[in-house]
């Protein structure tokens, strides 16, 4: 059953690439442009997944695995992770799907991310990781447990709030410059490889994929939903030790993301090998390592923590989400805003190009 991880990962990678779903960009927009359109899309993923998770929990298909909040590790690790994804130019999934597009800078960041995570989970930094994560707040596990209420109350409130935010965005007038290109394909091929995907539609699909990850992962003996950091570390550990047990459902999931994003990029004509300059190469190395170290301390990245654990209303998930957002803000200040003031334009700070839409 572990092969389902590869299949689901390929679907996820395809959707991420075609939908241009980048959490780093979503968080960065909040600080740079005071815009929340992509952040709202991210919250849609959490809302959809939350409904599915608690339904699966109610029917006994999954188990409640929430633990006491390792508050120091989550806060410090998530801030480091947030700064690092700005430096690297993408979060965990963004780095994976951009690697599938041929961005060599993302390849470098991805290797750094996996190596950093492996060092924290299995290598020389393991004791450092475990030491900080041992500092916990025993009474802070989940919001519903603290309040003594049904999680469905939180689900209903959250879905209503996200629904309202989505309605506001959908009814607002967009000011993005749009250039229309003639369609090259028709039918399903046009939809899959050419038509621009709306962020909210992409979010709905990712939410469904996140729900499907639970029963498929459980069937393979892995009691968790989507996750990127530990599987990435497992791949590095397998390369070093040759332990076949490390090629598990999660490891195949991240391999699948690469495959799916490559298929999407090739099909849409967006695959191209792009070599970074020296500055961006250094940023990719440092940012990638920081991502791996920060995510390991935090117990997850923007997927495992900010998307999965938030949907379960755990303190770890929401503390990580807010801390990562803060880290991104700090990264924007250090690596984008200050460079703009100095007259330099980094790739992350470059003005967005007009949106090209195929009719």
Q: Is the pLDDT of residue 58 over 60?
A: yes
Mean pLDDT of the chain: 90
**What's the pLDDT at 91?**
86
Confidence of residue 356 (pLDDT cuts 50, 70, 90): very low
Tell me what pLDDT residue 189 has. 74
User: pLDDT tier at 338 (50, 70, 90 boundaries)?
Assistant: confident
pLDDT tens-digit map of 126-145:
999 999 999 999 999 999 99
Q: Span 181-193, mean pLDDT?
A: 72
Provide mean pLDDT across the span 331-355.
Answer: 60
The residues, any chain, with a CB within 8 Å of residue 356's CB and separated by 6 or more, are 178, 179, 181, 196
83 and 328 Cβ atoms separated by less than 8 Å: yes
pLDDT tens, position by position, 196-239:
899 999 999 999 999 999 999 999 999 999 999 999 999 999 99
List pLDDT tens digits, range 13-44: 999 999 999 899 999 999 999 999 999 999 99
Neighbour tally for 20: CB within 10 Å? 16
Phi, psi of 178 (to 5 degrees): -125, 130
183 or 245, higher pLDDT: 245
Confidence of residue 349 (pLDDT cuts 50, 70, 90): very low
The answer, yes or no, to whether residue 185 has pLDDT greater than 90, is no
* 276-313 residue pLDDT tens: 999 999 999 999 999 999 999 999 999 999 999 999 99
d(CA 230, CA 325): 21
Which positions ≥6 away from 39 have C-beta within 8 Å? 26, 27, 29, 30
pTM of the model: 0.90
Tokens in use for 94? Answer: 């963004």
């Amino acid at each position: 059953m572990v092969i389902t991880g590869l299949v689901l990962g390929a679907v996820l990678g395809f959707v991420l690439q075609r939908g241009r779903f980048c959490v780093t960009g979503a968080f960065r927009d909040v600080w740079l442009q005071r815009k929340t359109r992509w952040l709202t899309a991210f919250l849609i993923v959490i809302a959809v997944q939350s409904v599915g998770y608690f339904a699966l929990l109610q029917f006994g298909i999954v188990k409640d695995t929430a633990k006491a909040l390792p508050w120091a590790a989550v806060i410090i690790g998530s801030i480091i992770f947030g700064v690092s994804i700005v430096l690297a130019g993408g979060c965990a999934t963004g780095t994976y799907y951009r690697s599938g597009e041929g961005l060599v800078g993302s390849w470098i960041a991805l290797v750094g991310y996996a190596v950093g995570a492996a060092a924290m989970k299995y290598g020389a930094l393991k004791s450092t990781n475990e030491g900080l994560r041992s500092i916990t707040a025993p009474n802070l596990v989940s919001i519903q447990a603290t309040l003594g209420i049904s999680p469905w109350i939180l689900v209903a409130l959250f879905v209503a709030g996200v629904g309202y935010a989505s309605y506001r965005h959908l009814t607002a007038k967009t000011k993005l410059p749009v250039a229309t290109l003639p369609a090259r394909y028709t039918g399903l091929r046009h939809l899959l490889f050419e038509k621009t995907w709306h962020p909210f539609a992409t979010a709905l699909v990712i939410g469904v994929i996140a729900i499907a990850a639970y029963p498929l992962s459980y069937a393979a003996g892995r009691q968790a939903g989507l996750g990127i950091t530990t599987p990435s570390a497992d791949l590095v550990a397998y390369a070093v030790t040759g332990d076949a047990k490390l090629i598990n459902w999660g490891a195949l999931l991240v391999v699948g993301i690469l495959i799916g994003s490559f298929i999407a990029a090739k099909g849409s004509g967006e695959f191209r090998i792009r070599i970074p300059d020296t500055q961006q190469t250094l940023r990719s190395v440092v940012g990638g390592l920081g991502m791996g170290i920060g995510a390991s301390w935090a117990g997850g990245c923007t997927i495992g923590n900010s998307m999965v654990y938030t949907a379960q209303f755990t303190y770890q998930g929401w503390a990580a989400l807010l801390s990562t957002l803060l880290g991104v803000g700090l990264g924007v200040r250090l690596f984008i805003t200050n460079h703009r003031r100095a007259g330099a334009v980094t790739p992350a700070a470059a003005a967005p190009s007009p949106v090209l839409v195929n009719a």
